[in-house]
Amino acid sequence: MINFRYGRATDVVDAVRQIAADPTAKFIAGGTNLIDLMKEDIERPSRLIDITRLPLKSVEATPDGGLRIGALVPNSDLAYHPLVAQRYPMLASAILAGASAQLRNMASTGGNLLQRTRCSYFYDTATPCNKREPGSGCSAIAGLNRGHAILGTSEACIATHPSDMCVVLAALDATVHVAGPMGARAIGMVDFHRLPENTPQRDTNLEPNEIVTAVELPARGFAANWTYLKIRDRLSYAFALVSVAAALELEGDTIKEARLALGGVAHKPWRDPSAEAVLRGQSAERATFARTTDLLLRDARGSGHNAFKIDLARRAIVRALTQAAAGTPQSQSNKKIR
Ligand SMILES: Cc1cc2nc3c(=O)[nH]c(=O)nc-3n(C[C@H](O)[C@H](O)[C@H](O)COP(=O)(O)OP(=O)(O)OC[C@H]3O[C@@H](n4cnc5c(N)ncnc54)[C@H](O)[C@@H]3O)c2cc1C
Ligand code: SF4
């Protein structure tokens, strides 16, 4: 591990001033990802700016019926917050499907957005990796790529984004609030993370001199018909092979509004408005779900070991929509779906 300096930020303006003054510095929140990356010699910040004492720890209802979540709200507090449990149960479910209780106690909302890929070659400094060292090559494309992406890949990188929380934030149309030297701005969650293209070293559209201050949820929480289905190698403490956030608003058996986002399959939470449009106005039945799934996965491609994910995703999407329609999240549907 290399030597680094450490200091605290006193407020958001001070945090932005400090990061803007030193391009080799990094913010540290819960430290559950950054410290591991430093120990593995992947991140080498010359200075850590501790942001844990900034006043970004509250969850507040917004005047338009939404929710504003401070960037330092721990994942556990967010999942168990009464307003989240009541109005956004899909978000609570996704957070609780991730990591372990101890990690969720430390992990922050902002840090969860900015956690880095779990591609094993990214962690292995003896192997080429375009994300870690641009231009060096991608070891995963012809290597062991069972956990890798099937959608939105490039010739430079086939890594996935590992977060569960972000998949639901994308489905709910959340907004990420950030602050930088030029002031504050808002980034739609679906535009926050990037596809790898030829710059896989950039995971997000956050500028290096900006800080995430909050995540805002719109009023629509889909609290009645939703599921977050996470398929993984073990039942807990494992990243998603495929995950599905499915949310519906129903009038009788007819779908009025639909949201569908996938995790574990791309460099960012995967959402396709055209696949959601197929659901609107249709009856909530397996044939409709299958049509949507075909559209959502039309460009899916395997790279060898991960080809099984295409069929896995297909089954998971239909199952998730079936559970959401029946109002039986993450469980066997007990309502008859034609
Ligand atoms: C063993 C293990 C298993 C895990 N399993 C899962 C899982 O199944 N699902 C899942 O979703 N996650 C999982 N995680 C990841 C975990 O959720 C993340 O490590 C955590 O959310 C990161 O939050 P943090 O506050 O600790 O971030 P840190 O480690 O402090 O920071 C991570 C990055 O975010 C930056 N950062 C932090 N806050 C801000 C901010 N406000 N503005 C700008 N930059 C910021 C830091 O500079 C750093 O680059 C797992 C982690 C571990 C170690
Ligand atoms: S998939 Fe991406 S992160 Fe993994 S080795 Fe290739 S370039 Fe690196």
| pLDDT, tens digit (0-9, with 9 covering 90-100), for 148-186 | 999 999 999 999 999 999 999 999 999 999 999 999 999
- 84-93, 153-162, 288-297, 325-334: which has the minimum mean pLDDT? 325-334
Mean of pLDDT over the chain: 96
Categorize the per-residue pLDDT at 338 as very low, low, confident or very high, splitting at 50, 70 and 90.
very low
Question: Is the predicted pLDDT of residue 335 greater than 60, yes or no?
Answer: no
What residue's CA is closest to ligand 2, atom 2?
157
Q: What is the pLDDT of residue 236?
A: 84
| pLDDT, tens digit (0-9, with 9 covering 90-100), for 228-267 | 999 999 988 899 999 999 999 999 999 999 999 999 999 9
Evaluate whether 162 touches 201 at the Cβ level (below 8 Å).
no
Between the alpha carbon of residue 51 and those of residues 34, 112, 156, 209, the distances in Å are 13, 15, 33, 14
Q: What is the pLDDT of residue 2?
A: 85
Structure tokens at 66: 């939404």
| pLDDT, tens digit (0-9, with 9 covering 90-100), for 70-121 | 999 999 999 999 999 999 999 999 999 999 999 999 999 999 999 999 999 9
Question: Is the predicted pLDDT of residue 331 greater than 90, yes or no?
Answer: no
Determine whether the shortest distance from the Cβ of 48 to ligand 2 is under 6 A.
no
Evaluate whether 7 touches 50 at the Cβ level (below 8 Å).
yes
**Nearest ligand 2 atom to alpha carbon 127:** 5
How many whole angstroms from 275 Cα to the centroid of ligand 1? 30
Q: What is the pLDDT of residue 276?
A: 97
Question: Is the predicted pLDDT of residue 136 greater than 80, yes or no?
Answer: yes
What residue's CA is closest to ligand 1, atom 2?
99
Closest by CA to 206, choosing from 215, 198, 197, 219, is 215
Structure tokens at 163: 């977060």
Question: Is the predicted pLDDT of residue 336 greater than 90, yes or no?
Answer: no
| pLDDT, tens digit (0-9, with 9 covering 90-100), for 23-32 | 999 999 999 9
Q: What is the pLDDT of residue 1?
A: 64
C-alpha to C-alpha distance for 121 and 111, rounded to whole angstroms: 22
Three-state secondary structure along 20-83? Answer: HHCCCEEEECCCCCHHHHHHCCCCCCCEEEECCCCCCCCEEECCCCCEEEECCCEHHHHHHCHH
Question: Is the predicted pLDDT of residue 291 greater than 80, yes or no?
Answer: yes
Ligand with the closest atom to the CA of 118: 2
Residue of 131, 141, 160, 301 to mutate, ligand 2, most atoms within 8 A of C-beta: 131
How many whole angstroms from 163 Cα to the centroid of ligand 1? 9
Determine whether the shortest distance from the Cβ of 303 to ligand 2 is under 6 A.
no
DSSP lists the bridge partners of residue 70 as 214
Structure tokens at 286: 């397996």
The sheet carrying 25-28 orders its strands as: 5-8, 47-50, 25-28
207: buried, middle or exposed (CB in 10 Å: 19+, 13-18, 0-12)? Answer: middle
Structure tokens at 135: 């231009």
Question: Is the predicted pLDDT of residue 332 greater than 70, yes or no?
Answer: no
**Nearest ligand 2 atom to alpha carbon 148:** 1
Question: Is the predicted pLDDT of residue 43 greater than 80, yes or no?
Answer: yes
**Nearest ligand 1 atom to alpha carbon 240:** 8
The share of the chain scoring above pLDDT 70, in percent, equals 97
Evaluate whether 270 touches 151 at the Cβ level (below 8 Å).
yes
Categorize the per-residue pLDDT at 299 as very low, low, confident or very high, splitting at 50, 70 and 90.
very high
φ and ψ at 8, to 5 degrees? -105, 145
Identity (one letter) of the amino acid at 94?
Answer: A
Identity (one letter) of the amino acid at 323?
Answer: Q
